Amino acid sequence: MTEQRSIGFLLHPGEQRVIEAAVARAQSCGYGVWTALERPEESIADNGDSAALLVTVGGDGTFLYGARLAAPRGIPVIGVNRGRLGFLNDIEVDDLADAISSFHAGDFRTQRRSLVDVRASDPAGDASALALNEVVVRARGVSVARLRVDVDEELLGVFDADGVVVATATGSTAYALSAGGPPIDPRLHVLCVVPLAPHAVISRPVVVPDAVVVRVTVERGEVFVATDGHSIAQLADGGDITVRPGPELEVVRFAHSPSFQARLREKFRFGVPHKDIELMPPVSETRLERRSVTESRDAS
C-alpha cells in the first residue's frame, strides 16, 4: 500500500486558527496533515518521509528555520507571511488554501536555493550549523578583530574590521545588504563576502561561486559566530570558520509569486524616486489588483 502523502505546517503556538481553512483544503485534496509547534525538529523527523510539502507560517525567521529543517530531507517549502517584512515569503495567509489547491494540481514551479554548511573550530571544540541567509563573524564588544579570509585555500584578504559576513544569494538582502553588499537574485549560485567596517582604504564586498570553500581565520581578537541570526560559537586567536556548500532547498512558487525585482521595489522601495514612494500602492493591493486582472481575463 502506498503511504499517504502529507503536508506539514510550521507555525507558532497559538496560531492554529489562521490555518484552519488551509488544513481543511489539504485534507480535501487527500493529504494527511501535521503541525510542527512545540517540537518542530521531532515533528519533521517523524513525518519527513511522507511529507510532500512544508508550509511555514510566520516571518522570515520562521521561513529560515523551516528551510534548515526541510532542505536536508528534500521537502519543498512554501513561505506564508505573518511577520512585518516577509521578504522571503510568497503567500499571504488568506491565499494559503488556494495555494494548496494549486500545489495539488501541479500548478507551481520550484526555485532551488543554496544553503551553506558552517563549522566553527577552536581548541575548545567544534560547532556546526546550516544557514540559508548568512554566516556572521563579528568582534565582541567594541574591539576590532583581524580576520583572514581564504577562498579555496587562496588568500582573499586580511581585514582589520568589526567582522565579516558570508552571505548566500538569498541572504544578500539581509545583513549583507545593510553592510553595503549588493542585492543578488537568489537564482544565482554565489556567495557574497562583506567586510564589516574595515580599516582599509579599498575594501569592498566580493562575490564568489557558492561551490567554493570559504575559510575565515581569527588572527587576532575575540569574535562570535552566528548563522541566520543564531549564535553558535565564540572564538579567539587561531579559531576558524569554514563555509562549505550545503543542501539545496526547493521553494514552491506560483504564477503570482512576486519576482526578485518586484520584491526589491515593494519591500525596500529600491529604485523608486523619493517623490513617487507615496504614490506606490501597498504590496497587498498590488497583489489583489494583479489577481483581479487575471481572474477577469480568465472569465472572458
Q: Which residues are catalytic?
A: 60
Nearest to 31 by CA among 56, 9, 7, 57: 7
3-class SS of residue 10: strand
Cα 19 from Cα 57, distance rounded (Å): 9
Q: How far is CA 179 from CA 167, 174, 207, 294, in A?
A: 11, 9, 14, 39
Cα 15 from Cα 236, distance rounded (Å): 42
DSSP output for 162-196: SEEEEEETGGGGTHHHHTTPPP--TTS-EEEEEEE
Q: Helices 283-299 and 260-268 meet at what angle, rounded to 10?
A: 140
Cα 236 from Cα 123, distance rounded (Å): 10
Cα 184 from Cα 191, distance rounded (Å): 9
Overall residue count recorded for the chain in this entry: 300
CB 58 within 8 A of CB 70: no
In terms of DSSP H, where are the helices of 79-205?
96-105, 175-178
Cα 146 from Cα 223, distance rounded (Å): 10
Cα 229 from Cα 147, distance rounded (Å): 20
CB 243 within 8 A of CB 217: no
